[in-house]
Amino acid sequence: MPLAPATSLQPPPRGEAARDLPVVLQARTLRGQPDVEAVAEGDVEFRRGGLVIRADRIAYDVPEDRASAKGRVRIEREGVSYRGPELQLHVQRFEGYFLEPSFEFVALGAGGRAERVDFLGPGRSRATQASYTSCPREDGPDAAEPAWVLKADRVHLDLDANEGVAEGAVLRFLGAPIIALPTMSFPLSDARKSGWLPPTVNIDNRSGLELSVPYYWNIAPNRDATLAPRVITRRGLGLDAEFRYLEPGHGGEVRVDALPDDRLAETARGALHWRHESALPFGLNARADVTRVSDANWWKDFPSRGLSIAPRLLPSRLIVERPLDFAGVRGLAYVRTAQWQVLQGTDELIVAPYERLPQVGAGLQGRHGEWVWALESEYNRFALPSPESARAGRSGGERLHALGSLAYGTREPGLWLVPKLSFNAAAYDSEASGRARRAVPTFSLDAGLEFERTDTAFGRGVRQTLEPRLLYVNTPTRAQSHLPNYDAAAKDFNFASIYSENSFSGVDRVSDAHQITAGVTTRLVDEATGGETLRLGIVQRYQFRPQQVTAQPDGTPDGAPSTQRFSDVLLLGSTSVLPHWNFDAAVQYSADIRRSVRSILGMRYAPGRFRTVSTTYRFARGLSEQLELGWQWPILQREAAAPGAGASAGGSCRGSWYGVGRANYSLKDSRITDSVLGLEYDAGCWIGRIVAERLSTGRSEATTRLLLQLELVGLSRIGSNPLRVLKDNIPGYELLREERLSPVSAPE
């Protein structure tokens, strides 16, 4: 009876279980003596548990449990495949040797050769005069060396300890040695392992050349640390450290960047970032997020550190919260503090948000049938984050506010109607103006219809929707210009904010209103895929009376009254009707000046993998006009050998050139502001990247970085890492290889 092929390979059982496993031999001819010896010849297949041996000839000594194989020998075990001319193996103990084998790590798509491999037991082996690569490998004395190869005098592998150790290791790239180490250790899976990581290199016009060699310390399954000594040619020696921890009930990370003696600044410099979460008794949760730097120029000298979304406003927050859930009512009670480090410069004044020391509040919401209610109350003590803020004409104070709403939601197929009553009340004790209070009620009615029909458009079945919407808002006028403003700002005028009851964010200002907002949206949805192929929308607001509580042109409150009856018209459109093309547009049109006030027009063309070109035009009348272009596109494509191809693939690594980049050009200032420009070369088994990034740090200042990276597929990435820069800046950018942990980690 023929043997059934196994769909997966499993490690052979060990100990007593292994002794009970049968030996199965399949071959053209079989001979031998029962319980003494078996000899198989011609397309031989030997199986015992998860171990499979194939060869031209196998002799099995039963008392010794030894298999001797010759001629086109192949072993498949635990994700590793060996091929060679001769094998001697004690099957149960998995001890023996393999002469002149080639090997393949199936999961990594890489492999190599050795003069000899000694099997030292289940999970342990030693290779002599071994080489490893993911490039195509050729046979014969005249075979060319792979584009990159890691050679070692001896390699010890221990699968149980997840460790490999290479002695006399030399990494060669394009025939030249680039790394030589007496001993190199590396993990054999994605599991963590202590050791040195590949070096990183950064070059910029402010600091010069920076070289860092990180060391990863796997302290425990729930704790680890990374220490990265670095040398900066213009500044001196530094150290980056990161510690991560995950304990029962709490966890977090601490990052420290230290530069004890910056030769350019002539002082010690550093940065700290701490993030922590804890579960406390009585259902409390605590969080901390603290960021601090040594000086105001840190963001400009080290823009790649990425400490905050706003590089010149560094937050420090402490939060204690408790979820509330009783009798169908849900909510949250909290105590919070928020402080800011403001990195002021000589170019412009940075006005930071107020610090909240503290912020104490609770919010509740519930539902009873169709009725939905919400209530929030909060006490804040506001403080100024820096003397510069005081010079901006601001002062601190205290505020106690309450927000509430009651809505009745009616929803039927194709119809919704939501009347709502809400209020915003606040009491102030300001350092500048003393005590004051106000309460503002609001009534709103939100209604909409949804119509659908099926049709045929652009040669395919589509579902078209028509969605008109009306929002009526009535808020009485309450004088508020005498009140302090701690957190109110005008909302951006767009399709989302125009359907809100209040034109301001925050608590301190409530816009008076007697208005109706009317809009309609239509969509085309592909019946086959469910994807939206077309969206068009238009919306406008009408004021029944002049509005008294308005914003100034810069978005701050307390502007001049508005007598404009009709608001600007908002137009929205997007489509992917044309194959590989996407278009989107948003326009704010003013009927008074018969021109657009703001416009965003975008286009993206993506005909296939690693092919994308996008352009975006942004216009704000009197403020800015920008044109942005981003791309990832092949410059020169050649057929690339598949990663991990074996000797049968032949040839050497060949590959393709890709251009990548993004440029943001200010039409108003006639200059390029921020830009990224780079090249990627994919040779199949290795990838080279060179990327230049220019970041504006002032009206006439910029930091330029040069990022160089060599990715040896199946081994490691060496140099600086431009992948985050490319993914963050280029819409639709795709990695040439999927990211995974590097198997090599630690020279010793």
At 113, is the secondary structure helix, strand, or coil? strand
pLDDT number for residue 516? 97
Q: Are 352 and 456 in a shared domain? A: no
* Residue 593 falls inside a structural domain: no
Q: CA-to-CA distance for 53 and 60, rounded, in angstroms?
A: 12
Q: What are the backbone dihedrals phi and psi of residue 563, each rounded to the nearest 5 degrees, phi first? A: -105, 5
Instruction: Work out how many domains the chain is built from and give that number.
Output: 3
Residue 175 forms part of a structural domain? yes
Residue 199 belongs to some domain of the structure: no
Contact 402, 375 (CB under 8 A): yes
Range 607-623 average pLDDT: 93
Identify the domain boundary among 577, 593, 621: 577
Query: What are the pLDDT digits (tens) for 160-170?
Result: 777 778 899 99
- Among 367-381, 432-446, 685-699, where is mean pLDDT lowest? 685-699
pLDDT for 141: 62
Q: Domain containing 118 — which CATH number?
A: 2.60.450.10
Chain centroid to Cα 636, Å, comes to 29
- Range with the largest mean pLDDT of 226-240, 302-316, 699-713: 226-240
Say what the pLDDT of residue 385 is.
Answer: 82
Q: Is 30 helix (H, G, I), strand (E, B) or coil?
A: strand
What letter represents residue 209's amino acid?
L
Pairing label, strands 148-158, 124-133: antiparallel
Q: Which of 736, 733, 737 is nearest to 630 (CA)?
A: 733
Q: CA 515, 517, 520: angle at the middle one, nearest 5?
A: 165
Short-list 306, 288, 299, CA closest to 342: 299
Per residue in 533-559, pLDDT (tens digit) is 999 999 999 999 999 999 998 888 888
What CA–CA distance (Å, rounded) separates 394 from 388? 10
Identity of the amino acid at 25: L
Beta-sheet strands, E only, within 36-162? 37-48, 51-61, 66-77, 80-90, 95-99, 102-105, 110-113, 116-121, 124-133, 148-158
Which of 42-51, 131-140, 613-622 is most confident?
613-622
Q: Which tens digits make up the pLDDT trace of 496-537?
A: 899 999 999 999 999 999 999 999 999 999 888 888 899 999
Same-domain status, 360 and 446: no
Q: Which one, of 323, 327, 328, 291, lies nearest residue 310 by Cα?
A: 291
The predicted pLDDT at position 16 comes to 47
Q: Is 685 inside any structural domain?
A: no
State the virtual CA torsion across 315, 319, 324, 330 in degrees, nearest 10: 0
- CA 467, CA 452: separation in Å to the nearest integer? 9
Q: Which of 151, 167, 191 is the last residue of a domain?
A: 191
On whether both 411 and 535 belong to a single domain, the answer is: yes
pTM for the structure as a whole: 0.80
Give the bridge partners for 532, in sequence order. Answer: 525
Cα distance from N-terminal residue to C-terminal residue, the chain: 53
Instruction: Tell me: do 185 and 314 sit in the same domain.
Output: no
Residues 34 and 147 in one domain: yes
Q: How confident is the model at residue 651 (pLDDT cuts 50, 70, 90)?
A: very low
In a domain? residue 738: no
Distance CA 228, CA 231 (A): 10
Q: Pick from 542, 577, 612: which residue ends a domain? A: 577
Residue 668 resides in a domain: no
Q: Do residues 471 and 403 both lie within one domain?
A: yes
Q: Are residues 337 and 421 in the same domain?
A: no
Q: Are residues 450 and 310 in the same domain?
A: no
Handedness of CA 68, 74, 77, 80 (dihedral sign): positive
In a domain, 722, yes or no: no
Are 401 and 356 part of one and the same domain? Answer: no
Print the domain residue range for 20.
16-191
pLDDT score of 643:
42
Alpha-carbon span 205 to 234, nearest angstrom: 10
Q: Are 146 and 71 members of one domain? A: yes
Q: What's the average model confidence in pLDDT over 614-632? A: 94
Name the average pLDDT for the chain.
Answer: 87
Query: Are 185 and 282 in the same domain?
Result: no
Considering the domain architecture, whether residues 314 and 444 belong to the same structural domain is answered as no
Task: Write the single-letter amino acid at 529.
Answer: T
Q: Domain for residue 262, yes or no?
A: no
The number of residues in the chain equals 748
Report the pLDDT value the prediction gives residue 739, as an integer from 0 to 100.
56
